[in-house]
Structure 1
Amino acid sequence: MERRELLKMIAVLTGGVMIGGNALLSGCNSEPKVGQYHLFSKEDIDFLNEVAETILPETKTPGAKAANVGQFMTVMVTDCYETKDQKAFRQGIKDLNSACEKMHKTGFMKAKPEQRLSLLTALDKEAKAYQAKKGELEELERKKDKDFPGLPNHYFLMMKQLTMLGYFTSEAGCTQALRYQAVPGKYEGSVPYKKGDKAWA
């Protein structure tokens, strides 16, 4: 699967444009600032792995945690996201944990799987509503200030998109969740489809 196709698929599945998509297609080649790689701690990565595992849990194939998607997220946010989205993402780790405490009276790391799932389902709805209004709000702000840089994206949308991108480009995602064929391989112009077949990697 080509990178461009994967980004389109993730955008369709998450109901929004792939955040950082241009940087991903052209290559994340911005020069890192001093201290930029200390934006996330090991605890942040562990937290993000648990969020990712709730989105893509282990079944017959490894889940997102086995692919260490939390580490992938931190690299992508640091290297490919705009400053406003980096800040929103980092703050989002705290906001997600606070939302879990508010909803379930416990932090996300101590929450039960069903509590985590109900929280992320609610956050997904919240993120979709926010993204739907984001354009209107930005337009209003630009009428006041033509140099307004725009609002950040919702942190949960970023987490969800990066979970999918990280998982389906990982070794576990490509070789076990998808049908993997090494390239170059043989060409087959017509492949019969059976219900339940995996997508091609």
Structure 2
Amino acid sequence: MNRRDALARVALIMGGTVIGADFFLSSCSSPTKEDKAAVKTAKPVPQKPDFLSPQQVSFLDEVGETILPTTKTPGAKAAHVGQFMAVMVRDCYEPKDQKVFLNGIAQLDVDCQKKQGKTFLDSTPAERTAFLTALDAEQKAYSATQPKDAPNHYFRMMKQLTLLGYFTSEVGATQALRYLPVPGRYEGSVPYKKGDRAWAS
């Protein structure tokens, strides 16, 4: 599955456009002046600093696991969606969306504390699901009436990146979906049984 196909599927699931899609399709961030200088002088390209702390990455893994929990197939945590989000937001989001996303990590916990009387990590799986379901309804209502220059909703970003990260990961593509690295001959009509997994390739 290529990047464009993955984005199209996530957009279809989300019922709208994917935040940062233009950057995703153009391989995200372009080289900095320091990167170009390092290449010219044959020096190692400097490593970008971590965008999120290990605690924040772990927190996003738990959010992702609530969105796509482990069932008969591995969930979002097995695909390390927290680390995926950290890289994608750092490299592919505009600064204004990066700020919304960062603030959203703390805001999610604050909102959970207000509604449930406990933090997200202290909540049971059922409580986490109920909270994120309500938060998803909130972001859908916000996105439907969002003015052009208004900031994006942080949970929309988290949900989109969870889906994109999971279904383009090895576990998502090979265990939640069906994957053939080298497709065979063209089959114009393939029998389908209810419950069959979708194809990743």
TM-score bucket (shorter structure): 0.7 to 0.9
Q: CA deviation at 1:31?
A: 3.9
Is the contact between residue 36 and residue 78 of structure 1 (CA under 8 Å) also seen in structure 2?
Answer: no
Pick aligned residue for 1:100 from 99, 112, 118:
112
Which amino acid letter does the alignment assign opposite residue 167 of structure 1? Answer: Y
Which residue number in structure 2 is paired with residue 109 of structure 1? 121
Structure 2 spans left out of the alignment, 5+ residues:
35-45
Q: Does structure 1 residue 121 correspond to structure 2 residue 133? A: yes
Q: How far apart in 2 are the matches of 1:117 and 1:36?
A: 34
Is the contact between residue 51 and residue 87 of structure 2 (CA under 8 Å) also seen in structure 1? no
Larger relative contact order (Cα-Cα within 8 Å, sequence gap ≥ 6): 1
5+ residue gaps, structure 1, are 139-149
Total equivalences in the alignment = 188
Distance apart, 1:184 and its partner CA: 4.7
- Identity among equivalent positions (%) equals 58
Alignment of 1:54-73 (within 5 A): 54-73=66-85
C-alpha deviation, 1:11, in angstroms = 1.4
Give the letter aligned to residue 187 of structure 2.
E
Q: How far off is 1:36 after superposition?
A: 6.2
CA RMSD of aligned residues (A): 1.9
Q: Which residue of 2 aligns with 1:158?
A: 157
Q: Aligned partners of 2:192 and 2:2: how far apart in 1?
A: 20
Give the residue type in structure 1 aligned to 2:5: E
Q: Which amino acid aligns with 1:68?
A: H
> Which residue pairs with 1:74 in the alignment?
86
Shift of 1:188: 2.3
Shift of 1:110: 1.1
Q: 1 CA distance for matches of 2:109 and 2:49?
A: 23
Counterpart for residue 175 of structure 2:
176
TM-score (norm 2): 0.87
Equivalence for 1:191: 190
